[in-house]
Structure 1
Amino acid sequence: MDSRSDLATTPFTADDYRTRMARATEAATAAGLAGLLVAPGPDLAHLTGYRPTADTERLTLLVLAPGHDPVLVVPALEAPDAERAPGAAALTLRDWTDGTDPYAATAPLLDPKGRFGVSDNAWAMHLLGLQKELPDSSYAALSDALPMLRAVKDASELARLEAAGAAADEAYREILQVRFAGRKETEIAADLAALLRRFGHSQVDFTVVGSGPNGANPHHEAGERTIEDGDMVVLDFGGLKHGYGSDTTRTVHVGEPTPEERRVHDVVREAQQAGFEAVAPGAACQDVDRAARAVITDAGYGEYFIHRTGHGIGVTTHEPPYMIEGEEQPLVPGMCFSIEPGIYLPGRFGVRIEDIVAVTADGRGRRLNTTPRELALVR
């Protein structure tokens, strides 16, 4: 039987993609849709393994409809690339050439009066072109119609996420050894990016380095500020390894922290643990947010926790489900998401701690990031 390491590096097969497309079609039927229209992006990569080499105005669209084989509509000049996609054997290619109408070529594949789920990132010109060709058709964003399309991961996907998380953990262990004081945030960010690549990431999506008052901005871009002795520094970084995401955050301190800085970090760590302990099959996504937020609110910092507690992760570093008040979606074994509470004191400092967590069938969560969550001191 394959180890997790073997699963992480074993390519997905055409049968894997065939199964995914069949499940997506069944989900569309259950949602009352006539089918799905999937544009280039994370949904197409998940369902077919096809990632077009360039963002193009030419129509590329996967059509999934009950009772019909999957069809990928592609520009003729890109058909050779599509034919080499891992899932190509599980679908039919229909190409169109420049100078012809791609919407007229696509329309016969669709129920002219159907309602279709369409990728959130589909180009407006393509959707409008289809509407013009099929005026009685209607459309719903996939994030609304099928928000959990990619949410539940199989064993191979979980292995890839685990490998990505382990690589990010190695990058964090290494960054603790470098000097922070006297260096710019951009220099630490560059170190993190290089470390992610050294440990196998093919793509680095973000390296947030927020020092001192910059740490009070959750999505601060690493800038030219020079890190000083006495700074809290928020490190949030991730990207893709084996096609699946990593995303972790740790907050470190340059030199000895003040009692208040230790207290704030301890509160965030306790909140992160409370969110983790709330993970269980059948619990609602909002239960994770509530558990983490209650700790911070009870400690008197509720107004300084200004974002959701977490987000899903997979072929992208941010996707459904979301750990936020009002999200009643039950947790299901195989779901993976971040738990990342924070406290942000404007003009002073911020603290955030983040792990990726998988829901398991044994009734609990499993962390995919295992580095210590205690406050690390750096020089």
Structure 2
Amino acid sequence: MQFVDESSIHVEAGRGGNGVASFRREKFIPFGGPNGGDGGDGGSVILLADRNLNTLVDFRFTKNYKAQNGQAGMGQQKTGCAGEPLIIKVPVGTKVRDIDADEVMGDLTEHGQELLVAQGGRHGLGNIHFKSSRNRTPRQCTTGEDGDERNLMLELIVLADVGLLGMPNAGKSSLITAVSAARPKVANYPFTTLYPNLGVVSVSPETSFVMADIPGIIEGAAEGAGLGLQFLKHLSRTGLLLHVVDIAPMDETDPAEEIRIIQKELEKYSEILAGKERWLVLNKTDLLLPEETKEVCDRIVAEVNWQGPVYQISAVMRDGTTKLVNEIAYALEQNRMEMTEEVEPVRASVDADFDF
């Protein structure tokens, strides 16, 4: 399936039905009076988050969406049927932006969440509403209003707890393959990963987290080089970044310099993303002897003056991956507990304000 994470669409809500001018005409009832009914409201356009979808590819082929118009009113005070709302399913994690107004309308982050993006037009009124003591036979009625019409940009940002970051061929796909059921393409050449991959990492029957792998980042990504910049946004929702580094690159490049390049590209792209918690994962230890591995890893950490946690693993051999995922799960749980503790005092202070 083709992965598409951005698409623009045009949505149009239904027009409200017109009211009618009608009069009651029955035998032996000479003064029947007005009985024109109202029109029905136009259908609205609603986006619905669906966890069974994982791409916006369908919106590349269907660009225009229109809800049903409301039905006109009828005589005998009959109201026209309202137009059926148009429900458009989108993947969970879709951010919706109004292109013309240049504002974010909403962010669909939970399954079943709905977002009204175009309100249906209001119905017109029948002539029964214009009857008065001075106007017994009103002939005026109103027309239905047009529904909202918008040009929207849909942007899919995958939902993950942990994001993998690094140069091409650093072993990110090998790592997500080793610790989850995800099976991205793994090969011995750059840019094997062409779109984000998600994997659920099960630490125990009660504990799991979602890991995201994006294409590798190269120098100049912030200016449009390579594929990484296009998919860096998918790391914006993650709580933790794993910076995966190849400690024994085949082209004999300097791993420490590659770490500095990634850091610069993150800072150019987003200060928020650059400030996220990041762990250093030194990969491919199986390619060196144990004493060489320690020497190389110590040199890399010292040269970049790394202050955060450091892990040495071999994703292919699955050496060190168990310890890594266990400590990730623990850190994520600690973060959740801290967030809960921050919310509880706020709730307590609000309750205290109403303690009479």
TM-score range, shorter chain: under 0.3
Larger helix proportion of the pair:
1
- Normalised by the length of structure 1, the TM-score is 0.24
- Normalised by the length of structure 2, the TM-score is 0.26
